[in-house]
Structure formats: structure tokens, C-alpha cells
Amino acid sequence: MDLKSKIRDVPDFPKKGIIFKDITALLKDGEALRYAVKKMEMPFLKKKIGVVAGIESRGFILGAIIARDLGVGFVPIRKKGKLPSKTVSAEYALEYGTDSIEIHADAVSRGQRVLIVDDLIATGGTAGAAAQLIEKLGGEVAGFSFLVELSFLKGREKLKGYYMHSVVAY
């Protein structure tokens, strides 16, 4: 299946000069969604994953489906201030400044193998911060799975030392 045909370019979003990869058409097509998720989870089927962590917000959608398919739980990684209980946070660099993400302090058990899922990897900053969160809690990053990789932004380099899988690359 040609998943790229289900991903549209939205120019100048969220700001001028950015071409946003919109997966909405893929998400609303049941067959394409099923195929994409199967491709995302395939390398992890025999990796003894303990929990899937999805990065806000489209990582919630894809990660929850993958967690269900793997027969494990799901934990959200969210933008600062969005989780209701005690959290740990990690900062990452943006083009201009920094941002941070959080996870519940009790979301991952010591030694638990965690698959981190998001829809897209660009520069790798958010994904790297997600790995820091898992490791702060004593978990082990079993790998990353992304639907889309913007390879020209070299995010994979920020994740050296971790297994990283992507389905569609630009």
C-alpha cells in the first residue's frame, strides 16, 4: 500500500516555511490505518515490550492501537502541565528556545521495556526527551516506532544507541 498517497503536505503550518505532514487522511482510512500500524509494530512483536508510551498527540492514537495489538498497556507523554498527577519532565531544544514534556512519575516500572511511539520524527528532540523520561523512571527504551521520518532533518542521529523504526521516509 502506498502510504505516502494518504499523507498530505500542508505548506506554512504551523509557521511560514514549514511543510506539515498531515496524516489525517491516513487515520480516517481504516485499511490504511490498519496497514500503517502493522508496519509500525512489526519489528517489536517479539521484543518483550512491557508498555507503549505515546507522544502527544498523534502518538496517542497510533501508540494505543499498537499497545492493544501487543497486549500491553499504554502511557501518555504530554506537554508540560497536562497530566493530573505527580510527573517527571525533560526539556528539549526547539528552533528558538526550549520546550518540555512530562510523564506520570508512576507510569513505568524499574526495568520495564518501553516502546516509544509517535507519528513523526523530525529533528529528534522530542523523541530524545521521551527516552530521557523513560530512563529517569528506571525503564528501558526497547525502541522507537514512527510512521513518518523526515530524514533530511537527521533526527535519527539524536537517537543513536537506540533501535529506531520508521515506515515512510521523506
Q: Is residue 78 part of a domain?
A: yes
DSSP β-bridge partners for residue 56: none
Block residue for cell numbers 507510569? 107
For the chain, percent of residues with pLDDT exceeding 90? 95
Residues above pLDDT 70, as percent of the chain: 99
Residue 135 domain-assigned?
A: yes
**Structural domain of residue 77, as residue ranges?**
40-169
The set of catalytic residues is: 58, 95
What cell numbers appear for 154 in the block?
537527521
In a domain, 1, yes or no: no
Whether 16 is in a domain gets the answer no
25 is a domain residue: no
pLDDT at 94: 78
pLDDT in tens, 20-43: 999 999 999 999 999 999 999 999
Domain membership flag for residue 18: no
Tens of pLDDT, residue by residue over 83-124, are: 999 999 999 987 677 899 999 999 999 999 999 999 999 999
In a domain? residue 10? no
Closest CA to 70 of 33, 104, 106, 43: 43
pLDDT confidence bin for 82, thresholds 50/70/90: very high
CATH of the domain at 127: 3.40.50.2020
Q: What pLDDT does residue 106 have?
A: 98
Q: Residues for the chain: how many in total? A: 170
How do 140-149 and 164-169 pair as beta strands?
A: parallel
Do the domain assignments include residue 101? Answer: yes
Number of structural domains the chain divides into: 1
Cβ-proximal residues to 10 (8 Å cutoff; 6+ apart), any chain: 19, 20, 21, 22
